[in-house]
Structure 1
Amino acid sequence: MPDTYESTPVATVVGGHTGVADDYQGGMEALIRLRDDFPAETLQGLAEFSHLVVTWHFHLARPDDVALHVRSPRGNPAWPATGTFVHRNHRRPNQLATSFPRILGVDGRDIRVTDLDAVDGTPVLDLAPWFPSMGPRGEVRVPSWVDDMLPDYWRRSDER
């Protein structure tokens, strides 16, 4: 297995959120704009799906933001200290994220989406339609602190 892996973005987020925030990610529309060197036909049929799986890079993070140690989510001592791979933020080694935005439409190389928690200019490394039958199987469980931490995550910014 190689020690490194190179990846070239397939698209870029255009519009939507302009700044990084922990909450209030809902309701914002953005475009995922496919690179010019990919034919628009690579998106043919995508508009028939309701959601995407988008893998993207925390491009505003710095390499020294990576934190390979135990810490409480969002620095809140009320929540248990957990390891790096229990967090879903930019402090991960490869600074990658996965999101599941709703598809509003496809026009040429542009995919119009909502509820994408990436910011304007974010490099998109991969995208695919969401297939529910390939989602988690069986009961899904999370510790209580996850729901305690995220009640405002998908609220609209105008609901603050």
Structure 2
Amino acid sequence: MPKTSPIQLTPVGVVRSDIKRPMLTAGESGLSLDERKDSIKAYHRRVKASECELVIDPQWEELLDGIEGFSHILVLYWPHLIDPEQRKLRKVHPMGRKDLPRQGIFATCSPARPNPVLVSAVPLVNRKNNILTVKGFEAVDGSPIIDVKPYSKSYLQVENLIMPAWMEQIHREVEDS
């Protein structure tokens, strides 16, 4: 494989959220769920109902023109609280759950990955100048925003989606919340 040059990313903004620490933490033994008082279902229910702000650097405000015409956007962001040493994990139990089989990092949505670029599709509630208000975004306060894109089902929707049983189980459990 040919050697590639390093990629340099510059954040375009920052997340302002009530979430102050990640639900998943990475350690030498893999992923673990944060020991909070509420269950994972209660946590997801609360996140789904909450709103947060995407504060785009004022120099990029013009790039947002027209975004308010979309009901949903894709937010690419960086999980800044992940220790670079923990990005060396190769296999994990999804969501830190020992009842699920270990999977390669690229087969999971784990934030502990070689290049921890995360993406979420979220409803766009409002735009005011350089600030986007979104709903149901599970990003920690202070997370750098790498990019914002409009959600378009003609480009992003897939037909006949197949997922492994363990991922379907996670989705069922979260959706039940």
More strand by share: 2
- The size of the alignment, in residue pairs, is 154
Q: Report the AA paired with residue 145 of structure 1.
A: W
1:139-159 per-position Cα deviation (integer Å, ceiling 9, x unaligned): 11111211322423795xxxx
- When normalised by structure 1's length, the TM-score is 0.86
Distance 2:176 2:55 in 1: 23
More helix by share: 2
Cα shift at 1:16 = 3.5
SS in 1 for 2:146: strand
Distance 2:176 2:14 in 1: 22
Distance 1:141 1:98 in 2: 20
Which residue in 2 is equivalent to 1:111? 132
Which residue in 2 is equivalent to 1:128? 149
2:30 maps to 1:28: no
Structure 2: which 5+ runs fail to align?
A: 25-39
1:112-159 per-position Cα deviation (integer Å, ceiling 9, x unaligned): 10011111111000111100100133211111211322423795xxxx
Q: Report the AA paired with residue 141 of structure 2.
A: D
SS in 2 for 1:8: coil
Cα shift at 1:85 = 0.3
Q: RMSD over aligned Cα, in angstroms? A: 1.9
1:17-68 per-position Cα deviation (integer Å, ceiling 9, x unaligned): 2221254231110010110222x33211111101111110010111011144
- When normalised by structure 2's length, the TM-score is 0.79
2:39 maps to 1:37: no
Once the two structures are aligned, what percentage of the paired residues are identical?
23
Cα shift at 1:3 = 3.1
Distance 2:130 2:147 in 1: 14
Judge conservation of contact 1:104–1:113 (CA < 8 Å) in 2.
Answer: yes
Residue of 60, 82, 89 corresponding to 2:81: 60
Q: Report the AA paired with residue 28 of structure 1.
A: S
Give the alignment of 1:1-160 within 5 angstroms: 2-22=4-24, 23=40, 24=44, 25-38=47-60, 40-150=61-171, 151-152=173-174, 155=177
Distance 1:103 1:46 in 2: 9
Which residue in 1 is equivalent to 2:30? none
Structure 1: which 5+ runs fail to align?
A: 156-160
> Structure 1 residues 115 and 154, CA, compared in 2 at 3 Å: closer, same or farther?
farther
